[in-house]
Amino acid sequence: MAARLIESSNRSTSMLYGTVSNERQRQHFQHPDGPLDFGRIPSAEAACVVIDDTHVSRHQLRVEEVSDNRVRIENNGRSTVFFRDGSRLEPQSADHRSLPVHLTVGHSVIELSFAPLNVNSARASATFAVDHYDDVVFLTLGDSTLDFPFPMAIGYRQLTNFATYTERYKELLRLAENLIAFVGSAMLASLTPERLRELNHKLSRPALEYWKGGISPGNWLDLCIHATLQMSEQPENALTKQFIDLKSHKETKGSLGETFRMLVRAKNDFKHDRGPSVESECQQGCIAIGELLNRVFDALSFLKSHTLYLVQDVNPHRRGNLADVMLLKCMGGNPGFLTEQRVLPPTIRRGDLYLQISSSEFVTLYPFLTTRISEQSRSREFNFIDRLDFEGKASDGARRCVAGLKSYERGSMDTDEDVGAEMLELFAE
């Protein structure tokens, strides 16, 4: 099972269609526009078709449309590419070809052609639809995710990397958990420190206890509910008003609260071996989760108007209370972010993430959402707080907290004492 993201519009355009075939794999795919990579591992730069062939390089090919019915094929690997007409494409070289193209690399055959696509979607946001071709479900990356913050969009981008229904079902549940964590983190970050302390006293247990030993999707949902109720008492800006309108604290049919609860239940069932297990069950499960994710993205479509920025540099003016600020626009599933320069108050912090509320108003997401260079992947990754570990006693004034940060991209863990210290301060008793 896989999904298709379609941009909502009325248009008729060409779609790159193809298959990858070898002894262990026969995969059908579609791709609407932009570069498409082929290799043994996922690409961090473009949509990717993963090839299960040890004779193919990790990043073997990049294909991109250059004109009507023509593509540029770039061989970035160590294996020679052979075409049906007897010609070849040597490593570290490129060529332009007219479609259809039939090529062999390693022990795999790749076929490419253009198939017509008629898009006529009434939905205003990303659509998570299911496609079948010869009983194989494939994923097509659309460009509607370009409008969503990167931590939300990256999950769709990675779904192409999973060949079985079981693997994809598990990844869909991870995407669902990440979405709930993103909403919860953004809601908490939207509250002032004073409002956070008020929230802390209204919870059934201290807020820090939610993360102790690892936070569950159910705990994230509980934080979303209480944060919504706290915002409702005194909406502070346009973003908090939109979070209130989500009504995540409601359980009425079709509400985001109901959808989140259904996703949490599916995640818990799978974790405790009560969910789908065999391929046929996971196939149906993927369809059900995809429909729930449709609802989530529809409800969160307002986040497309609140750009996520990473502050790269801040240069205060010598006179006046302003600074030249260099920003990375962290929108869409491609980490090749655009750069913007703004004149903003110098209080904005270098290295922090911000959601834009209006042309001159931003809300910091620290410490709930952060970004750093991962020691494992050696690339920038976006993280949310997944756990808090404590040392010492609060009564002695020597309590120490270390935050465990989980990556949206890979689900890997890292630790940060500064984030832990900030959480202690924000939720001080």
Is the separation of the CB atoms in 116 and 127 below 8 Å? Answer: no
End-to-end Cα spacing for the chain: 47
pTM: 0.68
Q: Give the DSSP H or E segment for 321.
A: none
Rg of the chain, C-alpha, whole Å? 23
Tokens found for residue 46: 């473009």
Q: Please provide residue 24's backbone torsions phi and psi, each rounded to the nearest 5 degrees.
A: -105, 0
Under a CB-based contact definition with an 8 Å cutoff, are residues 36 and 48 in contact? yes
- Residue bearing tokens 């060409």: 14
HEC string of 19-86 equals EEEECCEEEEEEECCCCEEEECCCCCCCEEEECCCCCCCCCCEEEEEEECCEEEEEECCCCCEEECCC
**Tens digits of pLDDT across the chain (429 residues):** 333 222 333 333 467 888 888 877 888 888 877 899 999 888 778 888 889 888 899 899 999 988 778 899 999 998 899 988 778 899 999 999 998 899 999 888 999 987 643 333 333 333 333 333 233 333 333 444 558 999 998 887 677 666 688 888 999 999 999 999 999 999 999 999 999 999 999 999 999 999 999 999 999 999 999 999 999 988 888 899 999 998 887 777 778 889 999 999 999 999 998 989 898 898 889 888 988 988 898 899 999 999 999 999 999 999 888 999 999 999 987 777 889 999 999 899 999 999 999 888 999 999 999 999 887 777 889 999 999 999 877 655 668 999 999 999 889 999 999 999 999 999 986
Domains within the chain, CATH numbers bracketed = 4-142 (2.60.200.20), 169-300 (no CATH), 308-426 (no CATH)
Instruction: Identify the CA nearest to 401 among candidates 423, 370, 383.
Output: 423
Pairwise CA distance, residues 184 & 220, whole Å: 6
d(CA 354, CA 219): 24
The pLDDT assigned to 43 comes to 77
Return the pLDDT at 146. 54
Coil/strand/helix, residue 121: coil
Residue type, 152: M
Task: Please return the burial class of 352, using the count of CB atoms within 10 Å of its CB with bins 0-12, 13-18 and 19+.
Answer: middle
pLDDT value at residue 125: 32
Cβ atoms within 10 Å, residue 207: 20
pLDDT of residue 212: 95
Burial profile 167-196: b = 16 or more Cβ within 10 angstroms, e = fewer: ebbbbbbebbbbbbbbbbbbbbbbbeeebb
